[in-house]
Every structure is written in structure tokens, then in C-alpha cells.
Structure 1
């Protein structure tokens, strides 16, 4: 059991946290009348968090911080994350992002530049960096999440409809004039009889392109 005097010092620090929200290591060392190592142990016991900016100089208690939906809290320019370190926070943000995150996007969310920090990180577990258009974008290493993020950031171009050459189009349209109302499959069979190997899918694409596709009869 700790001496009564020590417990009083600890209560003073907790009260100071409640009043001032954030404290520095020297301030707590002075209030607790102990070594930095002892202060560190107390902070761990209290579940304290260090700031991810200002060189981790400031501390707060998780019970005091008012975190936003992304788990971040700002107090008078000092930034904290419920995920602890900047490293853990970046990994979490990348994992939950819809389209991965660039350094600029990370900075916008975190409120501090991450460019130099990320450049020093050779490997962040769970994060896959890729260079796109002169900027690095960070994606999740999870295969399914990665695919979803990539598809969201870089939507695929729609596949172009395959249309027949003009000469074949004329042959198809002439056949349609001779057999009005014929379906693509029927026209394909007719044209095969005339020596033209034209698939029904090609005819269907041509009809779709020119608005000739027969609409289904809802009364049937």
C-alpha cells in the first residue's frame, strides 16, 4: 500500500488533469515528488495518453478526452488519439478509410503533417503504400478491403459496347427491314442462312446502340 502522502500527491495530479486537461512530464514529476520512471508507471496505471504532436510532450487521461468519431481529440493545439501513438492512429485510419489515404488526406484528418513521419516508416503493419500520380496513397493490406479501397479511389472505366463494323451494321439493318420485329437471335439465324456469321450478341448491341431494341410487352 502506498503512503498516504503519495496518494495525496497522486490525487493532486488527477485533480490537475481534470482542471487543466493536459500536463507535461516535468509538471507531474514536480507534483508527485518522484522520478520520471515512477511518473511513467503511474501514467500507465491511469491509462494516460501522450499527444501525437508536440513531440509527445503532453499527457491526458482517456476519461477526460472528448474523442470525435475517428477517435481524435484536440485541446488548445495539442492532439490526442484514443489509439495512442501516431503509428497506431495512422494504421487505424487507413484500415477504416473508404478509398485509402494520401499524406495530404491524413494531414487533413489528423491536424498535423505526416509526410516526414511516413517517409521514415519503412513498414507499417497492415498498411500498403503505393505511389500514384506523384503522391503516396496508403491502403489496407487486407485483400478484400484493399480491393474495395482501390476500386473506390480509381473507378474502372466502363467496358465499351462491342459494335459491328459499318458494313456489317448495314447487312443487319437490311435484314431487319426484311424481317421487322425479328429478335437478334432470329436475325442471326437468318443471316447465317445467307452466309453471314454474325452473333446474336453483336446484333443485340447494335439494336441497343440505335434504340431499336424491342421492349417487352408487360401484358404478356
Structure 2
């Protein structure tokens, strides 16, 4: 009788691009699920994030694209393994945040529930920009950078839909006069508790429209 060992799984994964769990069990001479998972702990592999994770492939960093994704036909893999971790990573690594549609186009699966879970556990943040929700890093400084990049990239006709209240502009300017060189995230913190509340989107848009990045380094402002 052949003695089971992890090399049986390694040989199988090297012989085929992707395999099902049942094939791994057969390679281990009809091992039980518990036994199969025990041997898998000694093998470098990644499971598909679709098809309920029933497909396996050998771990190979060179397979993944710049998004950390790999596909074989309609079977999708991520360097993170699990889909929830992949969604959070992609949002946090994005240069300008991501919409639900952008994530779904990238991952080829639905992500709404995972995004809501990420929000609930405060792993990511969400802001409404130009009529749609964008998901960002949970670190205020990184989120600010992502949001600025997104607002800057919006077409002018979309920017016009972002409402700018003159009272909000004045409040932002007062913070910058008192605290020269403040970043949008710092302005939002300084204005916390105001009614109605001023959001990060509004502050970033005010910075962008009136070129407030350098205020405080110069005397006065040119907002009119």
C-alpha cells in the first residue's frame, strides 16, 4: 500500500492547470475530506474565488497580473486566496477608489455583500461622488489622496453636479487661515460636529475648485 504524502498533491497540481477537490482526494487514494485538507496544509496552492472555491491550482506568483488576479477560462484566482480579502486589497491599493461596478468588472463576480461587510467592519470607507458610491482606504490620509485623484479625473459636467455651498467654502477657508497647510482630511476633522456636516467629498472638491493646496503658504486667498 502506497504511503500518502504531500508530494502526491504537488505532482497532481504540476500535471494540470487546475484541479477539483475530488481529484486531490483521488490522488491521495480516496482520502477523506479531513485527511485531504490535512495534507493540503503542506502544499502551496490557491483556491478559486468563484465556483465556491472548488478549483485548486499550484501557487505561482508569476501567474498573477498587476491586480493580483489569474484566470483559467472562467475560473478565477487571487493571490489573496479569499474574495473578501481581494476586494479590500483592491479598494485600498487603488489610486482613485473603486465603484462596485468597477470591482465587478475586474473580478467578474458580485461584490456588493463583501463591500457592505468591509464597511461594517470599518476596513474600507465609502463616499458618494458625482451621483455614485466610491469605496476608499480606511486611512483618512490615503482616502484623501484617492478622493482627490477621483474628483480631478471627473469630467467638468459631472463636477458641476457636486454642490458647493458658499458657507462651506468660508468654513474651509477659516480652518486654513487658523491652521495653514492643513490637508482635506485635517479640515474635515477640524469641522467635525458642524451642522449640517461637511463631508470629505465636499472639502476635496472645494480644494480642487479653488486650488487651496498652497493656501497658508501665501498671504490671503483668491476665492471669489
TM superposition score normalised by structure 1: 0.63
> Which protein has greater RCO, CA pairs closer than 8 Å, 6+ apart?
2
Aligned mate of 1:55, from 49, 52, 55: 52
Aligned match of 2:7: 11
Note the 1:114-129 alignment, pairs <5 A: 114-119=111-116, 123-129=120-126
Deviation string 1:14-59 (CA, Å, 9 cap, x unpaired) is 2221121211112211221311112112222213211111111111
CA contact under 8 A between 1:100 and 1:140: conserved in structure 2?
Answer: yes
Aligned mate of 1:111, from 108, 113, 118: 108
Task: Say whether residues 1:159 and 2:210 are aligned partners.
Answer: yes
Aligned mate of 2:70, from 70, 73, 85: 73
Counterparts of 1:132 and 1:55, CA distance in 2: 33
CA shift for structure 1 position 106: 0.6
CA shift for structure 1 position 118: 3.2
Which has the larger Rg?
1
Counterparts of 1:47 and 1:53, CA distance in 2: 19
Counterparts of 1:65 and 1:43, CA distance in 2: 21
Name structure 1 gaps, 5 residues minimum. 161-200, 206-220
CA shift for structure 1 position 13: 2.9
Name structure 2 gaps, 5 residues minimum. 153-204, 212-219
Q: How many residues align structurally?
A: 159
CA shift for structure 1 position 117: 4.2
Q: Which moved more, 1:35-44 or 1:122-131?
A: 122-131
CA contact under 8 A between 1:91 and 1:125: conserved in structure 2?
Answer: no
Runs of 4+ in 1 over 6 A off after TM superposition: none
Change (3 A) 1:136 1:40: farther
CA contact under 8 A between 2:91 and 2:97: conserved in structure 1?
Answer: yes
